[in-house]
Every structure is written in C-alpha cells, then in structure tokens.
Structure 1
Amino acid sequence: MPRFGYLAWVEARPVVQLIFQLRFATGVVFGTGSAIGHNFRPGIAVAALGWLAATWAIYLINGVTDIAEDRENGSQRPIAQGRLPLSAATTICWILVALAVACCLFVSVHMAVLVAIMLAVGWAYSMGPCPFKMSMPGFLASVTTLGLVTYLAGWCAAGGEWSNPLLIFGIVMSLWMGLVGSTKDLPDTEGDRLAGRRTPPIVFGQQRARALIAILASVVGWTFLIASATARWAGGLLPAAVVVCTGSIAVSVVLLSAISRGDRRVRRRPYRVFMTTQYATHTTLLSANVVP
C-alpha cells in the first residue's frame, strides 16, 4: 500500500499540488493581513493538510478518468502505464476525500463548505454527467473556480480579514489558470480527440489555438500590470504583476515560435512557461510577506 500511495502522489502531479498549496498560502497571507509567521494558528496547518488531500483526490480522479487518452498520448503517469491499479487509486481517492472533509470540518463549518465545493467541482470536471473537461467553457469555468476557491480557503482558514488585493490577485491568477492553462492541451490532441474533447487545438487547429492563447495571456498580463501600477486598491501587487506580464510575453513567444514545435516534449514548453510563471508570481508575492 505505501508503494501505491507514492504512485498516487506521482499521478496527482506534485508540481501542481505544490502550486495549489502556494495559492492557499497566499490566501492565508491576505487573510491575516500580516507576514507569514505572524498570527499563525494550528488550525491553518490542519486546513492546509485538508486542502492538500482535496486537490490530491481531484487530480487522482482525473487520472482515473483520463486513462484512455493518456495512453493514446503516451503519458508516463502510473495509471496510464498500469503501475497503479484503478482499484487502488479509487480506494486512495476515497481516503483522501474523507481526510479533506474531516480536516476542514475540524477547522470550521465555512472551511467544510469550501472543501465540499472544491471536491464537487473537481468531480464535475472529470466525472460529471457531462464532464467539464470535455469543452472549453467547462474547462474555463471549473479551473477558474478551483483557483478562486483555493485562495478563498486560505483566507477563510486565516480568519478572513477582507483584502481588496486578495480579490484582484485571486481573480487574475485564477483567470491565468483558466485561460492560459489550456497550453496543456497542445501536445495531447490525439488522445483528446479520441475522448471526444473540444479543446482549443481541436476546435481551432494548432496555429489558431496558439495565437488565441497568446492573446489571452497578454490580456491577463498587461491588464494586471496596468491595474497594479495605477490603482490605489492594488497596493503591493506591482512586483507580482511584473512577473505575470513577463510570463505572458514569454508564453506568447514560445507559443508563436518554432521552439515549441516538434515532439510531445517540445510541444509542452508553453505549459512549462505557464507553470513557471505561476511559481514565480506566488513566490514573489509570498517572499515579501515572510517574517525575517
């Protein structure tokens, strides 16, 4: 079972799990109105553990339902390769759901409601009657919601001191997830077409999809930068906005140039830039809010 637990963690994409924890931590900082280390309560750590269990379960569910297209796309994930049996993945998923609900309920009823929303959206994304992952509007709505609820959860766990910058940052970075996160679909058209998905490269073709994502990334990046530089209520967000805008330029260059044309590994470069931008943005914001 420990081996299956490790494989379930690999299946859930640790790099994605960590960024969800950084989003949660960002919500905590805005919720306390102080640097990390001040006003810390054990309940925050319990809530973070519950949130990790929830996001882990969501991505594990996704791995279970994506097995056919992952195999078609040549994925190296444990479920697609048969190293993690579906029965074991399903059992671990239920354990994680129970842990997520128990931890969040221990913290507060509000946290329990938020984790229930998170799990419901995650389930609907992969396993609903008409899974959200099958269409572009569904993908945008569900992924953006997962981001917003995560920031809100950190804020709630910290005590919920309202902050306009939290609202702005949460919306911008959740839109970054929903609008630019579709870069992950660029190398997976074969499997997605087999599964009947309507992703941007399938609907518009590779060239138009790349141009569309580049435009959307630029809109998010430049809007955030201009707003942070000019609006009083966006105080403290300018360094993070500079990172997002720089990331939007980098994503656009990679999308529209030949450096992301080739085999599947090469075609994943826009997604890697997208993820790097998220890490750099949250690290920039959090590094300014750490107790020395």
Structure 2
Amino acid sequence: MPTATRFDLHRTDLPEISNVSDKHGVFPRGPRLAGFCLQEARVSVQVIFLVRFVFAGTAGVTLWDVSTRLLPGAVLWFLAVTAVYLYNGTTDVREDRANGSGRPIARGALSVRSARRSAAVLSASALVGGLLMAPPVGAAIGALLLLGYAYSTPGISLKRHTPGTALTVMASGALTYATGVLCGRATVSPALIAFCAAMCLWMGLAELAIAVPRLRRTRGTAARRAVVQT
C-alpha cells in the first residue's frame, strides 16, 4: 500500500517478474515462506496497524475488563493487513527494483506466484475467521481486503493517484479503529471518535504532504526528458 518511493517505469533493464523464485531456484516453503511474506508485508507497518487496533479496543478499559475477542480479532486483522501488503508487493515489483528495494520479491527471494497464493490464503483465513467471530467483524475485514485490492490491482490502482492514495490511507485507518472497537470493550465516547477521526485525517494529510513533492519531481523529470528528446 502507500509508500513514498520514487520510480522510473521507463527503465528497460529490469528483469521479468513472472518466474521469480528464491536464490536456490525453488519456491520457499514453511517457515522460510512465512518469514519472506512477513518481510514483504513490512513488520513495522503491521505493528502500527496492531497498535491502532488494540488502542481502539482498549480505550478507557482496565486490564481485567479487556474483551476475550480482542486478541483473536487482532490476529485476524493482522492476517488481513498482511495479505493486503503482500499483494501490493506483487504489483510493485518493477518500481521496487528500480528503487533498489531489498524486499524479498524485488530481490528474487520470493516468487510473485508464491506471494499471491499466500495472500489469498491469508485473506480467506481472515475473512472466514471474522465471519465466524461476528458478521460485523467479517464485513470490516472484507472491506479492508476490497480496499487493498482496489489500491493495488491494475486497472483500478488507486495508488496511481494522490487522492486515491490519501483516501485509502484514511479509510484503512478508520476500518482499523472501528474493528478494534467491535472486538474490544471500549466505550464509544465523543472523545474516542474525535481522536480516531483526527488520526485518520492526519494520515491522509501526511500522505498528501509526501505525494505532492513526489508528483512535482516526477513531472519535472518528464519535462526534462521531453526537452532532451526534442
């Protein structure tokens, strides 16, 4: 999902992505596959999402009153967010390689096929688990998965437009806070709503602050190329 990387889609020296495997020429499995998938999904991002989720589910609640659904809910949300970022990694290969990214898919340690299969398994597990826990939780997980798909998939690709990126960031934050509340016992007070809304707005503004200079650099590069070509 949202990143602040620069890339050049006009490079022709980038390797193809259809047959990417690990350095031993086989698809990684078991713990090795899980480790690569987690690295591709960015551990720091997963921690941030979990902090938001747990905060929303425990705001104003003592340790003894924490809902028994909070931990399994957090696990399911972790699976869903990991699936979203893992799938995003499979659609950013050319850009990541152009930027010299060291993530598993870009460096050839994890195949696109394995990553997408893993993302599908994680998505299905999160969705089924959420529906079994409570229909609203399942609906929220489904909404996050659809949002992630719309953000990354070619043809829709919200990530290609600054407003789409900002809206995705804010919506994913809002879904995280809302699902945390659903799985926890936090009292939905005006203060909690205001805080979560302010945080989501800040996420969107921060993304805009990153994207606008990046867009200017991209346009400047395109203009310089046009001058050189003429």
TM-score tier by shorter-chain length is: 0.7 to 0.9
Conservation of the 8 A alpha-carbon contact between 2:56 and 2:186 = no
Give 1:5's aligned residue. Answer: 34
Matched-pair identity in %? 33
Aligned-pair CA distance for 1:171 = 1.4
Match of 1:54 among 71, 80, 83: 80
1:50–1:102: 8 Å Cα contact kept in structure 2?
no
Tell me which residue corresponds to 2:45: 16
Give the CA deviation at 1:77. 0.6
The gaps in structure 1 that reach 5 residues or longer are 186-198, 207-292
Distance 1:20 1:203, change over 3 A: same
Kindly provide the CA deviation profile for residues 190-237 of structure 1, in whole angstroms up to 9, marking residues without a partner as x.
Answer: xxxxxxxxx42343349xxxxxxxxxxxxxxxxxxxxxxxxxxxxxxx
What is the CA-CA distance between 1:163 and the residue it aligns to? 1.5
Which of 112, 131, 134 aligns to 2:157? It is 131
Matched, 1:107 2:133: yes
Does the CA-based 8 Å contact 2:61-2:186 persist in structure 1? Answer: no
Matched, 1:163 2:189: yes
Aligned residues: 190
1:217-236 superposed matches below 5 A: none
Structure 2 counterpart SS, 1:161: coil
Does the C-alpha gap of structure 1 residues 42 and 106 become closer, same or farther in structure 2, counting only changes over 3 Å? farther
Does the CA contact (< 8 Å) of 2:80 and 2:123 recur in 1?
yes
Runs of 4+ in 1 over 6 A off after TM superposition: none
Q: Give the conservation status (yes or no) of the 8 Å contact 1:105–1:112.
A: yes
TM-score, scaled to structure 1: 0.61
Correspondent of 2:167 among 127, 141, 158: 141
| 1: CA distance, partners of 2:68 / 2:155 | 39
Q: Give the aligned partner of residue 174 of structure 1.
A: 200
| Corresponding letter in the other structure for 1:171 | A
State the 1:46 CA deviation.
1.2
Q: In the superposition, relative to structure 1, how do residues 128 and 156 fare at CA in structure 2: closer, same or farther (>3 Å)?
A: farther
Q: Answer whether contact 1:46 1:104 (CA < 8 A) is retained.
A: no
Determine whether 1:85 maps to 2:97: no
State the Cα distance separating 1:42 from its structure 2 match.
Answer: 2.7
Structure-1 separation of matches of 2:183 and 2:136: 9
1:126–1:133 Cα contact (<8 Å) kept:
yes
TM-score norm. by structure 2 comes to 0.77
Q: 2-side partners of 1:88 and 1:15: how far apart?
A: 22
Deviations 1:140-171 (A, max 9, x none): 11110000110000001114632112211111
Work out which structure has the larger RCO, using CA pairs closer than 8 Å and 6 or more positions apart in sequence.
Answer: 2
Alignment gaps of 5+ in structure 2: 1-28, 219-230
- 1:174 shift after superposition: 1.5
